[in-house]
Chain A
């Protein structure tokens, strides 16, 4: 450590407002990465103290105890103890405690103090504590704890002033290190009770507003109704705000590509710039609005305290298929797009539950499948009313959504039974007080998610898009060719080779060919089919062309294929990024391929037998 810089580790229970405090201290100057060798997020920020000293702050994962039960808790334990390989020992530990929840949080403070390192206690949310009539004798608490104690209000400008002044001063002396054994651990609770009796006056144990809201939000009937309304509004927003922006970005890049291409001589380079580069950028950046809109709501729901309530309501249902209540929101997000859904699994603390959620998220029917569904349903399913009210086309679309959900439940259930680790994984989830989300925290959270997507994924997806472009463009059509150029390309050859694989599920070589660009983005299957069937862009014409050339059995089989197939390489790329494992990418690709193939095979053969 140099005299001009100080390493500070921020620790605390979940929901102590630690991250809000971190945001207040560091503003946007944060670096988000992973700890070496694990997929636990590492957040570091820095700021210049008034004395001119550089303060480097590490926001450690929140934990209730140094007796770690999960990888993120182990990191907090090891860094506090100074034993984590590759991380410098912090010069000072700032332990953050929620002033309205000291019964729980002070125990952890005592546990951290026993490590024998310099510790400062930040009593956070002092404003809420005061408004609830909670009186804390801070000097007495500090004296009894033997630690410097400062008051903070993480959600107010200047709310960390006392903390900054304290850490900028002299590093406090460390308490003597104490050994850890079971008898001592029980003793900590007794010490907390003593401290509370001596220093804290609490008019009532809960906030009235929490009790009032929970009566409704956790109600067996109204609670579920409120959840349904909230989710409905989120989806409305994704489609009415995100979707138009996504389309605008796609169109914008299409326009830009066409204009740039107009300046270039015709040839492969022009095609690369127009179709490969701009087309690819349009696809990649097109994901961004939906991701940001979805994450806006996920962060607001999380910050407000509603997310754990939703998890509480749905835990039993999710548990029956090997998941947890916390899986619900990421899975629901996956109906818009699996990418934010998979990124959203970070709110699931248990690694096993998180992996299961990531693996089944792509089975949720995302919005990119809709153009394909719309095309095939419009072409092959007659507008026929069942029982006089239900449109058969609508029923088929509903069945496809249902197929995705039931498939996901089946996979979750199977994974629950075949995994080696069958141990009980706990819920033990705190339902924190309701809070109004702060603009700064939402903005920083959104910025981080957006940057993760852009930085880590743009390269991969763009590269693969260009590869797909290359496969569908080269080699070019020979002189005097009468068929579309794509038939002479590598994709054409691969499509023809693939038809032998896909013949048992009823795909001809044209469909097999269309599956190749669809791997870049599902909706491009429509354009690819249009190209090989020699029709213009409007889908009405394509629908008629398809209906004339593809049997019903193949069309149904293709619909089912799209429900389950391992498609969209962006999803596979995000699985790699979030789990840091090619094995998981291979598992998701493999199981979805087998599932799609089996389901399509059954649908194709059964339909053929019946028609």
Chain B
């Protein structure tokens, strides 16, 4: 099976299914001076960083567990929705 990287428009990290791979585009502020968005950037959610949805919570798929770099972060959906990503899809 070949893996082809296809360009698709940016989506939010919260929309990805379990197991999905993606690359961070940027973190969007939910409001002016959003401390949560700033902290996400400090945690490494910056342009070009690969991420993976490792697991989702048992209730409503919330929170989501994201592998970024060597670290795993549990993010609530509202937090993950701040991260704009380019999904990598295996075709």
Contact = CB atoms under 8 A, between A and B. Distances in A.
Of A65, A107, A205, A319, most B-chain CB atoms within 10 Å = A205
A427 interface: yes
Interface stretch (A96-104, A163-171, A491-499): A96-104
B36 A424 contact: yes
B67 to A, nearest CB: 7
A308 B75 CA distance: 12
B56 to A, nearest CB: 8
A218 B70 contact: no
Nearest to B46: A189
A82 to B, nearest CB: 22
Interface in A190-235: 202, 205-206, 210, 214, 218, 220-221, 223-224
Interface in B33-91: 35-36, 38-44, 46, 49, 54-60, 62-63, 65, 67, 69-76, 78-79
B57 A315 contact: yes
Of A65, A224, A311, most B-chain CB atoms within 10 Å = A65
B44 A103 contact: yes
B44 A220 contact: no
Interface of B: 30, 35-36, 38-44, 46, 49, 54-60, 62-63, 65, 67, 69-76, 78-79
Interface string A305-323: 0001001110111010000
Contact of A67 (B38, B58, B71): B38
B65 A427 contact: no
A205 B70 contact: yes
Given A189-B44, A315-B62, 6 more contacts: A185-B41, A189-B49, A205-B69, A424-B78, A426-B36, A428-B79
Of B40, B55, B79, most A-chain CB atoms within 10 Å = B55
A185 B42 contact: yes
A64 interface: yes
Contacts of A545: none
B42 A107 contact: yes
A220 B36 contact: no
Interface string A495-534: 0000000000000000000000000000000000000000
A461 to B, nearest CB: 38
A223 B41 contact: no
Q: Which 9 A-B pairs have the closest CB atoms?
A: A103-B69, A220-B58, A316-B59, A65-B42, A218-B55, A431-B72, A429-B74, A316-B62, A426-B36
B69 A104 contact: yes
A83 interface: no
A185 B36 CA distance: 15
Contacts of B60: 316
Given A189-B44, A214-B55, A312 B39 contact: no
A431 B69 contact: no
Nearest to A111: B42
Contacts of B30: 424
Contact of B63 (A65, A100, A427): A427
B35 A69 contact: yes
A104 B35 CA distance: 18
Nearest to A210: B72
B54 A214 contact: yes
Contacts of B42: 64-65, 67, 107, 185
B57 A308 contact: no
A67 B38 CA distance: 8
A313 B59 CA distance: 8
A296 to B, nearest CB: 25
B74 A224 contact: no
A107 B41 CA distance: 11
A140 interface: no
Interface string A410-454: 000000000000001011111100000000000000000000000
B44 A100 contact: no
Nearest to A221: B58
Contacts of A430: 71-74
Contacts of B79: 426-428
Contacts of B35: 67, 69
Contacts of A220: 56-58
A65 B39 contact: yes
A500 to B, nearest CB: 48
A186 interface: yes
A429 B73 contact: yes
A428 B36 contact: yes
Interface in A39-72: 64-65, 67, 69
A220 B79 CA distance: 21
